[in-house]
Amino acid sequence: MQVWSKSTQKPRRIGFLLFDRFSNLALANLLEPLRAANMLLGRQAYEWQIGAPENGVVHSSSGLPVMPTVRLSDLGPGDTLFAVASYDYQAHATPGNAKTLRVLAGRFQTMAGVDTGGWLLAAAGLLDGGRATIHYDLLDAFAERFPTIEVERARWVKDRDRITCSGGMAAYELACDLIKDDHGAALLLEVTQLFMSDSMTTPHALTRVRGDRRVEVCLREMEAHIETPLTIPDLARRSGCRLRDLEQRFARHFGATPRQVYRRLRLNAAKRMLADGGTSIAEVALRAGYGDASAFARAFRAEFGLTPRDAARDAPVTTAARRR
């Protein structure tokens, strides 16, 4: 049984419009969580295209060349278009680029400006009368240049069908927030584990959970007791609440019971061990808290649709897919 209840079978179509000297950190931080979500879900929940205003190779601020995957005329239609820019944003704020962004706004349901991409959306008139943010160094200049926009000092701002994001690190947080909205907090927990980010202390992750101290404590206890699992009543006591209260909190945040979330965390750990190779299935079962290898195999197959042996056999491919 999957522990998230919000997944949808229809892939979200994402577009990236890269402007020369864009932030590669921002692009990677948007793209990699989506790639990881696809891997963890076992399907293409997110599809993406990359375009550039001149249709040719575009270079990041570090000089990294990126080749567009589609011509600008073929970009979209889709769900969200990320305009990613960093340096030289003033030079990119041309009538031609403004026209391009307005055309793309007709192809995508949501337009998002990342780093100084927000400036380009504003210059195209796509943020008029709304709320927005930008890189903190430019907040004052942004507010002065675009007086019809309500400028906020924030990591990112979602306003109607517009999103603005302040920079590269905030882009990772934004991508995680979008994944949470689409597929629930349980999948987001897996994504943050994959990237070794602390899902309970980073600003973005599981914001609804972050304000629930009892759920935070419970998740930490679960993660600390993978090999020697605690009982759910014991987890409730350690979390400082009654069992029924804990179940209601998990249902609200995850759409699942504490037992389901705990099982998923343990099986995720087992899946990573199998993918890394070098450990027998029997040893992996023990490290995931299963004294009975047969029970482990049944639970693993029910959760992931394949046997532990299948996962171990596919380890070289899986390991390559997981490398960041």
Count of CB atoms situated within 10 Å of the CB of 94: 13
pLDDT digits (tens, 9 = 90+) for 260-290: 999 988 998 898 888 777 889 999 999 999 9
Question: In this model, does residue 78 exceed pLDDT 60?
Answer: yes
Grouping H, G, I as helix, E, B as strand and the rest as coil, residue 309 is: helix
Closest C-alpha to 266, from 164, 190, 160: 190
Identity of residue 200: M
Please indicate whether residue 217 or residue 117 has the higher confidence score (pLDDT): 117
Q: Looking at the chain, which runs of residues are DSSP E strands?
A: 12-18, 46-51, 58-59, 65-66, 78-85, 108-115, 131-132, 150-151, 156-159, 162-165
Tell whether the torsion through CA atoms of 284, 287, 291 and 295 is positive or negative. negative
Determine whether domain 12-180 maps to CATH 3.40.1500.10: no
In this prediction the pTM is 0.72
Cis? peptide before 77, omega within 30° of 0 = yes
Q: 322 pLDDT band (50/70/90 cuts)?
A: very low
CA distance 288 to 295: 12
Cα–Cα distance measured from residue 122 to residue 92, given in angstroms and rounded to the nearest whole number = 12
Domain regions of the chain by residue span? 12-180, 211-318
Q: Mean per-residue pLDDT for 176-189?
A: 84
211-318 under CATH 1.20.120.160, yes or no: no
| 80-108 average pLDDT score | 97
What pLDDT, on a 0 to 100 scale, did the predictor assign at position 209? 59
